[in-house]
Amino acid sequence: MSAMDPIRTPSGPPRTPRDLGLVRLRRDEEENEARTRPLDWGILQRLFSYTRPIAAKRNALVALTLVRSGQLPALAWMVGAIISGPISGHDTSTLTWAVLGYLALAISTDFLFHFRQRFAQELGESVVNRLRGEIFAAVQRQPMAFFHRVKTGSIIGRMTSDVQTLRTGIQDVFFVSIVQLGQMTCAALLMAWTDWVMFLIIAGLAPVLWGLNHHFRGKLSRDSRATQESFSRVTASLAESVGGIRVTQGFVRERHNAGLFRELVADHASYNMALARTSAVLQPLLELNSQFFISCLLLLGGWRAFDGAMEVADLIQFFFLANVFFAPIQTLGNQFNQALIAMAGAERVFRLIDRKPEWSDPPDATPLAEPNDAESAGVTVEFDRVHFGYTADKPVLHDITFAATAGQSIALVGHTGSGKSSILNLVTKFYPPTSGTIRLDGRDLSGIDSDSLHRRMGMVTQHNFLFSGTIRDNIRRGRPDADDAAVRATIDQLGCADLFDALPRGLDTDVGERGSGLSLGQRQLVCIARAMIANPRLIVLDEATSSIDAVTESRLQHALRVLLAGRTSFIVAHRLSTIREADLVLVLDQGRIIERGTHHELVQQAGTYAELYRQFSSPDAT
């Protein structure tokens, strides 16, 4: 289903999310998958292999479960036996012993129940922990293209809801089903032993009960799913409205949005009412179902008792056993449903874990060399007839050729969509070129180990992304083994120590969610310090477009100059001052370099750059 497919509504014509003013639900290749999946032996085996590290506990759990499955029918049988034996025969002394025996069995049953619960929990936890670790590792292995294609929400879904369904499958469904099936089998054997004719008749009812139950549950489950989906739309819309509140208020769309949201809530209410109606019909029907069954048993048992084919005491015992036999039918139906949901979850989780990165370093990749002397820390970069596209059908960069010597700064200039960020994506090895060669220090980039490159690379992006934690934590992200002295030395070098020290908790100030507790200028300085502490050879800088007060701006410019000194840098430049200072300016248009040179050379060429410059520096320019 696409985001614009009609929504099933309980009444009225189908409507699309747009009709309802809903946010367009995010869809990607991982979304919109089947909710259930048939049992698959391969997946089951693989899941089972995850229990190997605690095999002893798993085996103990299976043994406990088997014992418990016999205990419940035994308890029911004992009740019947006590009524038909000592109670019917007025045998007081045997009654006391029999009841004590019953109590002993009941206590041991609950004792085992305690361990069954505990071990199952531990087993589920162990499997879930391992799976979460593997999912995280698999996601980390993926190249940048994966993160552009797969939405964050769906990765989180694998880690949370899918893994949760697996936990339920492993720690509950499997063992509960064993207990219930065992309980049914033991109860069936005891019933057959008590009165096999009655048993055969009763057993014939079992499939009918199962079928009815299955049908009713299926309908309830479909309605409840539709209700959940409509609620997801409400929460997604709410999240987007809160996230985009500035835009909403800026465009005075509050009333309009409130109206759309009301419609959405009303839509959800209609699903809820439909579910309530179905439930109100089906729940009594289910109850009637079991009462009908009791009536059959009473009628049949009564006739047999009249005929003398069965003792009344046996009939009572039979009732208890029949209850133990039929009670699991409903539970098993639910467990089977859960098992199918867990199968679908497991399939998605394993698909992500097994996902081969679209590309990776060749096995013989070697690290980027360390510089011989600290003065010439930069790296030489050459692009040789490089072509590139994010997808095969849409080339983005065409025949890019240029060279940067160690320590040079390259400014990338051009209209939006001209390919500036794409060049950064290639030089950082986040994407491989479609054809052509990129060389660093004269070596083909494809043969350079990505991790070693990224360790000696500093990135400062427009978004100034910060992780939650303190300023110090964030700076140390650039070099995790850096001690406090190294952090202090870095901010001293950048000349911004006083700005951080002036904060109430200095470097221990919490940056808030994604740095929201800091000003824009402070965020940028943290990002510059984070890049600087890694002592990078290559700097990739997507210059911020937002304007900052003049004093902070000059502090930022100073810090940037310190960061860039002696290092090779690629800058998507928005400030004239940056472009002026660059050793080489590449002017891009529709993925091609159309002009190149220093700022002065380009101005003299009187081409596109000169025109851009003229517009930029004209008094009317904003």
Ligand X SMILES: Nc1ncnc2c1ncn2[C@@H]1O[C@H](COP(=O)(O)OP(=O)(O)OP(=O)(O)O)[C@@H](O)[C@H]1O
- Reading the block at residue 159, the tokens are 């880690």
Is 167 or 420 the residue whose CB approaches ligand X more closely? 420
Q: Give 284 or 357: the residue with its C-beta nearer to ligand X.
A: 357
Other beta carbons less than 10 A from residue 234's beta carbon:
16
Nearer to ligand X, 72 or 412 (CB): 412
**Nearer to ligand X by C-beta: 390 or 613?**
390
By CB under 6 A, name the binding residues for ligand X. 148, 390, 396, 414, 416-422
Q: How far is the CB of 573 from ligand X (least distance, A)?
A: 11
Tokens, residue 232: 């997801």
Q: Report in angstroms how near the CB of residue 420 gets to ligand X at its nearest.
A: 4
| Beta carbon of residue 431, minimum distance to ligand X (angstroms, whole number) | 9
Task: Give me the least distance between CB of 402 and ligand X, in Å please.
Answer: 16
- 613, 592 in Cβ contact below 8 A? no
Query: Which of 498, 532, 505, 527 lies closest to 515 in space, CA to CA?
Result: 527
φ/ψ of 557, rounded to 5, equals -60, -40
CB closer to ligand X out of 422 and 490: 422
Token digits for 425? Answer: 């994506």
Alpha-carbon 291 to chain mean position: 45
Phi first, then psi, for residue 496 (nearest 5°) are -125, 15
Considering beta carbons, is residue 327 or 612 the nearer one to ligand X?
612
Q: How far is the CB of 149 from ligand X (least distance, A)?
A: 8
* Backbone phi and psi for residue 113, each to the nearest 5 degrees, phi listed first: -60, -40
Instruction: Note the residue count of the chain.
Output: 622
Name the minimum Å distance from CB 393 to ligand X.
11
Q: Work out how close the CB of 588 gets to ligand X at its nearest, in angstroms, rounded to a whole number.
A: 6
Name which of 207 and 417 has its Cβ closer to ligand X. 417
* Residue whose CB is less far from ligand X, 237 or 422: 422
Query: 93 vs 622, which CB is nearer to ligand X?
Result: 622
The minimum distance between CB 546 and ligand X, in angstroms, equals 14
Beta bridge partners of 538: 457, 568
- Write out the two tokens for 614: 């003229």
Residue 173 CB contacts under 8 Å (≥ 6 apart), including other chains? 335, 338, 339, 342
Task: Give min distance, CB of 168 to ligand X, in A.
Answer: 36
**Is residue 383 within 8 Å of 436, Cβ to Cβ?**
yes
Q: Taking the complex as a whole, how short is the minimal distance between the CB of residue 421 and ligand X, in angstroms?
A: 3
- The SS3 call for residue 177 is helix
What's the min distance (Å) between Cβ of 418 and ligand X?
A: 4
Q: What angle do CA 94, 97, 102 make, to 5 degrees?
A: 120
Residue 231 or 390 having the CB closest to ligand X: 390
**In the complex, least distance from residue 422 CB atom to ligand X, rounded to whole angstroms:** 3
Q: How far is CA 600 from CA 31, 403, 585, 596, 606, in A?
A: 52, 19, 10, 11, 10
Cα separations in angstroms, 453 against 350, 450, 587: 30, 5, 26
Backbone φ/ψ region at 513: left (φ over 0), alpha (ψ -120 to 50), beta: beta
DSSP 317: H
Is there a contact between 192 and 333 (Cβ–Cβ < 8 Å)?
no
What DSSP line would sit under 410-441, residue for residue?
EEEEESTTSSHHHHHHHHTTSS--SEEEEEET
Task: Output the DSSP codes for 271-292.
Answer: HHHHHHHHHHHHHHHHHHHHHH
CA dist 562 and 24 (Å) reads 45
Residue by residue, what is the 3-state secondary structure of 234-260? Answer: HHHHHHHHHHCHHHHHHCCCHHHHHHH
Q: Which is nearer to ligand X, 92 or 622 (CB)?
A: 622
What is the smallest separation between the CB atom of 592 and ligand X, expressed in angstroms?
Answer: 12
The tokens for 62 are: 């299976």
* CB nearer to ligand X: pick between 154 and 422: 422
Distance of closest approach, residue 570 Cβ to ligand X, in angstroms:
12
Among 478, 222, 160, CA closest to 491: 478
Cβ proximity to ligand X: between 17 and 419 the closer is 419
CB atoms within 10 A of CB 310: 20
Name which of 98 and 397 has its Cβ closer to ligand X. Answer: 397
Residue placing its CB nearer to ligand X in the complex, 418 or 428: 418
In the complex, minimum distance from the CB of residue 608 to ligand X, in angstroms, rounded to a whole number: 14
Query: The sheet that has 394-404: what strands, in order across it?
Result: 394-404, 381-391, 435-440, 443-444
Amino acid found at 380 = T
CA dist., res. 476 & res. 534, Å (int)? 9
CB of 465 to ligand X, least distance (A): 16
Which residues are paired to 438 by β-bridges?
Answer: 383
Q: Which is nearer to ligand X, 424 or 471 (CB)?
A: 424
